[in-house]
Chain A
Amino acid sequence: MSASQEPATQRAVSAEIAEAAAAPPRPDGHPDRAYRPYRSTALRAPQRPLVVTPPSLTELAAPVFGAADVAPIEADLTRHHAGEPLGERIIVTGRVLDGDGRPVRHQLVEVWQANASGRYRHDGDQHPAPLDPNFTGGGRALTDDEGRYRFVTIKPGAYPWRNHTNAWRPAHIHFSLFGTAFTQRLVTQMYFPGDPLFGLDPIFQSVTDEKAQQRLIAAYDHDVTQPEWALGYRWDIVLDGTHATPPDVDGA
């Protein structure tokens, strides 16, 4: 393991990224858990193969969330404090779908992100950029009948991290998603189009298939943009597997 070694240069990490990109990508588009350019995977990716087993009845169902769980204001991250946060106000909207294109209805979508300066409201974030007293950066929403979600927030900044020397994360919003089956659980990150850091970032590049990479990038959508108010981005999310109709085990 590399714990005692000097941090790698970007050039060395970029060479490792290129090497990994030359191998055939996984058919499902997910990253390999053991991905050397992202150093923290070294001790956290399992070494043994996953054990293949059919999902249980429990795993074919998913937690249910409702109006009591999520307040509408949670979807507007610019209104969680007395004042307006600094930064570029944006709207992020899209649909959550299963592999067959069916909407995932009334299900929980959660987001968290850095502020416009690239700083997280977290004790572990040592980036010397200012916190914004008017921005926490966490939000929740339920999808509607068509699987749509919509957040109002500010565009997060890029930020440095210590994977290697001069490592910077492209601007991103973390997303957490549930489907109709626990097996469809997904945590991922949404990126913004045209970011110059894509090629340098081991986390983005851990998705080695270029087409799959594109599925992590929101599209600027002028129809979502609101005049005199906020720029709009559209990002649809497709969960693993097909929509599983949960068994009617509760008699409801």
Chain B
Amino acid sequence: MLDLTPSQTVGPFFAFGLPFDGGGDVVPMGTPGAITLHGTVRDGAGAAVPDALLEFWQTGPDGRVPVRPGALHRDGRSFTGFARVATDRAGDYRLRTLRPAAPSGARDAPHLAVTVFARGLLHHLFTRVYFPNHVEANAADPLLAQLDEERRATLMAVPDGGVTGPGYRFDVRMQGAGETVFLDLSVSGAPVPT
């Protein structure tokens, strides 16, 4: 095994390096079945974090992991499953996407995989967004099953539809009361489809 390259913070000045046009538009406006996902990133004092960068990665409604390029250069047709959004001055982010479905053979309930980057965060954080309507799948999900109700709620998108169609809220609390569940995904023995 090679020794890995250590992480360093994304810092405060990534705005001209990482965000890209349409980074939150996983699907174009008006796409049938589109949902919006939005929320606020807050620090340990409850203050909005205006310089966080979130990435979302997901299956589509067909339960397939996208394998097509084009996440940076949106062509308006291909579902690439990848979003990258920076928080604004109020700590808010927003994206428009499709609902994820579970791949065949998956033990995990439908979810979006999330990475959180920020100034003051020396190593990014992983978390997940789950959806409350998948009652059975959520009950069987290996991650959700090991969490108490309060912790589990930090991973659950909250329906709050707006004028643009079905919407969900997912806040990220980096530290303290209501701290989001962040994940250590480094374990081996990952599930394979059967």
Contacts and interface: CB of A to CB of B under 8 A. Distances in A.
B121 A50 contact: no
A56 B117 CA distance: 20
Interface residues of A, number: 89
Nearest to A45: B175
B16 A68 contact: no
Given A33-B121, A47-B176, A51-B182, A216 B187 contact: no
A249 interface: yes
Number of chain B interface residues as a range:
35 or more
Nearest to B123: A30
A70 B69 CA distance: 11
Contacts of B6: 29-31, 188, 207, 212-213, 215-216
Contact of A51 (B17, B45, B119, B183): B183
Interface string B10-22: 1111111110000
Interface in B135-155: 142-143, 146-147, 151
B70 interface: yes
Contacts of A78: none
A139 to B, nearest CB: 8
Contacts of A101: 2
Interface stretch (A34-42, A81-89, A144-152, A224-232): A34-42
Given A29-B3, A174-B10, A185-B124, 18 more contacts: A44-B174, A51-B184, A52-B183, A58-B108, A58-B113, A61-B57, A61-B65, A64-B66, A68-B69, A69-B70, A69-B72, A97-B2, A112-B17, A137-B16, A137-B17, A138-B17, A206-B8, A211-B3
Interface of A: 1, 28-33, 35, 38, 40-48, 50-70, 97, 99-101, 108, 110-112, 114, 120-122, 124-125, 136-140, 172, 174, 176, 182-183, 185-189, 203-204, 206-207, 211-213, 215-216, 237-241, 244, 246-247, 249-252
